[in-house]
Amino acid sequence: DAKTTQPNSMESNEEEPVHLPCNHSTISGTDYIHWYRQLPSQGPEYVIHGLTSNVNNRMASLAIAEDRKSSTLILHRATLRDAAVYYCILRDVGSNQFYFGTGTSLTVIP
Amino acid sequence: EAGVAQSPRYKIIEKRQSVAFWCNPISGHATLYWYQQILGQGPKLLIQFQNNGVVDDSQLPKDRFSAERLKGVDSTLKIQPAKLEDSAVYLCASSPWEGTNYGYTFGSGTRLTVV
């Protein structure tokens, strides 16, 4: 059911930007792109979402390719607290369900 | 606003025993989900409720798992009898209502160990 492809793991140095890629080549016109992250021993938490335009919030930025077949989550300055598994998910508005893949495990190096 | 509450936080049982998990969603959230997360994997949807009705339970192993949301508020997920492969974190999530683009809010989960 997972319709997205992400690298299994990535590393970043503290206070440097991080770009987490996601491929979703089978995205439909009404699918929203959501990003969640899961810290150790916690439930996933919402990060950001978008449809076609790039989006910014206090946590991150989301860059969506023009053809919408890929997107990138951007953490502008990684901190140790950003170490988590990041999930890129397509939101099926019709069924209101999320299908999680295995996500990208981000390690932040001090 | 209060988050999604789940209890217990941890549970250890022997195989073939029964266990129940409880979830109280964010007030006013009509849609409630139960997910199973096995170590090293992403969460897998088990069941989705809209108010007190089941929208999707196609991934729920109905021979041993059951769930209810009788008054459209809190929910209980039960496993009877438990198997070793049921060891996982059980996550509850809620969202305002169906057909919107609101995100989910997850609870911290219940970690089940079956020995």
Q: For residue B104, what pLDDT band results from cuts at 50, 70 and 90?
A: confident
**Residue B2, pLDDT score:** 76
- What is the pLDDT, as a whole number, of residue B67? 97
Q: How far is B95 from chain A (nearest CA, A)?
A: 9
In chain B, what residues touch A31 (CB-CB under 8 Å)?
A: none
First CA to last CA distance, chain A: 36
Whether residue B115 is predicted with pLDDT greater than 70 in this model: the reply is yes
Give average pLDDT by consecutive 10-residue segment, chain A, 110 residues: 85 97 90 92 92 91 96 96 95 74 94
pLDDT of residue B52: 86
**Does pLDDT of B3 surpass 70?**
yes
> What pLDDT is attached to residue B1?
62
Does the distance separating the beta carbons of A43 and B109 come in below 8 Å?
yes
**Which H helix or E strand runs over B31?**
strand B31-37
Q: Is the pLDDT of residue B23 over 90?
A: yes
Q: What is the pLDDT of residue B59?
A: 92
Q: How far is CA B85 from CA A43, B64, B79, B81, in A?
A: 20, 12, 12, 12
Q: Is the pLDDT of residue B99 over 80?
A: no
Nearest to A82 by CA among A50, A98, A60: A60
Determine contact, residues B83/B64, Cβ cutoff 8 Å: yes
Residue B93 near chain A (CB below 8 Å): yes
Top residue of A96, A100, A104 to mutate, by most chain B CBs within 10 Å, is A96
Among A32, A36, A102, the residue with its CB nearest the CB of B41 is A102
User: Residues A84, A39: contact at Cβ < 8 Å?
Assistant: yes
Give tens-digit pLDDT for B40-80. 999 999 999 998 899 999 999 999 999 999 888 999 999 99
Nearest C-alpha in B relative to A32: B101
Q: pLDDT at position A83, please?
A: 97
In this complex, the residue of A41, A45, A103 whose CB is nearest that of residue B42 is: A103
**Mean pLDDT score of chain B:** 92
How much is the pLDDT for B36?
97
Considering chain B, what percentage of its residues have pLDDT values greater than 70? 94
